Amino acid sequence: MQRRFKVILEWDNEEKVYVVTVPGLPGCSSYGSTREEALRRIQEAIAVTLEGFEATGQPLPEGDVEFAEVQVEVAS
């Protein structure tokens, strides 16, 4: 069964890597020196995380997250 998860992909300027987190799976994260590597590695991390849920008898997370964009005015 395939599942989809939203991920957040951010550039870490200090470490010079892309950091990827999965809001629907707290604690699940990875990184990569390229965007493609980071996304490939987060797929592996998600699979391992879900295997851990199964192995310990925990229910798989049901919901995902919803993203919204907001705009704010900043005094200059």
Q: What is the pTM of this model?
A: 0.83
SS3 assignment for the chain = CCCCCCCEEEEECCCCEEEEECCCCCCCEEEECCHHHHHHHHHHHHHHHHHHHHHCCCCCCCCCCCCCCCCCCCCC
Class of domain 1-76 as given by CATH: alpha beta
pLDDT (tens, 9 = 90+) of the chain, 76 residues, equals 788 899 999 999 999 999 999 999 989 999 999 999 999 999 999 999 999 999 999 988 876 788 889 999 999 8
Q: Which residue ranges make up each domain of the chain?
A: 1-76
